[in-house]
Structure 1
Amino acid sequence: MDDPNRHFVSLDKALQDDKRIRYHDDYLSNLLSAIRQDFSFSLNLPSTGTSKEDGCNVGGYFVWSLLDNWEWNSGYTVRFGLYYIDYRNNLTRIPKASVRWFKQVLQKTYK
């Protein structure tokens, strides 16, 4: 899930990564439905609490990548991290909206 590194886009717009949030919400919801039926990670869709084993064994999930980084084919022209890297300001790391979303999902899931 990458975004072009457009220098003319405001920082606020670069931090609001709704497309990335939708991608991970859809992916995780579908992954979980392969394990249990009738559950959603979406913050807007509550779980009904029912579950049905579907036989899928999932060992984990991780996001590629935590931070914006350099790509062999693209250099720094794409961004796909959960944290925005400010290359012009001492490599400052700024959390994108997807960081808050993941934090809410994890808090909701593990309460």
Structure 2
Amino acid sequence: MDDPSGPFRTLEKALNDDKRIRYHRNYLSNLTAAIREDDCNVRGYFVWSFLDNWEWNMGYTVRFGLYYVDFRNKLTRIPKDSVQWFKNMLRIKTEHNEISIALSYIKFIL
């Protein structure tokens, strides 16, 4: 789930991480199915990574955190769109939000 970084990628594009949102939505939907349909004993879900960070074989050239780190401006952290998606998803506890219902069985997330 990395996003390429480079001199031609704007901050606006870096913060718009719809691909990451789709990935987590699909993953959590399948996790929900595993819990409900197969009675899987799921203990937690972790997002990697909270912040853009050093990738051993790529350095700082890929960005896969929920927060954009501006390495040129005192390491300022800027939330990507996926942060708001996670906040909304965790806040909504309705029957229409299958993912949130499944997550109520899990002790921790992120």
Q: TM-score, normalised by structure 1?
A: 0.81
Match of 1:105 in 2: 89
Q: Determine if the alignment matches structure 1 residue 56 to structure 2 residue 35.
A: no
Please give the alpha-carbon distance, in whole angstroms, between the structure 1 residues aligned to 2:61 and 2:10. 16
Match of 2:78 among 90, 94, 110: 94
Structure 2: tracts of 5 or more residues without a match: 93-99, 102-110
- Cα RMSD (Å) of the superposition? 1.5
Structure in which a larger fraction of residues adopt helix: 2
Match of 1:68 in 2: 52
Question: Mean alpha-carbon deviation: is it higher for 7-16 or for 20-29?
Answer: 7-16
Match of 2:64 in 1: 80
Alpha-carbon distance, 1:68 to partner: 0.2
Match of 2:28 in 1: 28
Please give the alpha-carbon distance, in whole angstroms, between the structure 1 residues aligned to 2:33 and 2:7. 39
Which structure is higher in RCO with an 8 Å CA cutoff and minimum separation 6?
2
Aligned residue for 1:36, secondary structure, equals: helix
Alpha-carbon distance, 1:36 to partner: 1.6
Structure 1: tracts of 5 or more residues without a match: 38-53
Structure 1 segments, 4+ long, off by >4 Å, are none
Greater Rg, structure 1 or structure 2? 1
Identity of aligned residues (%): 71
Equivalences, count: 95
Alpha-carbon distance, 1:7 to partner: 2.1
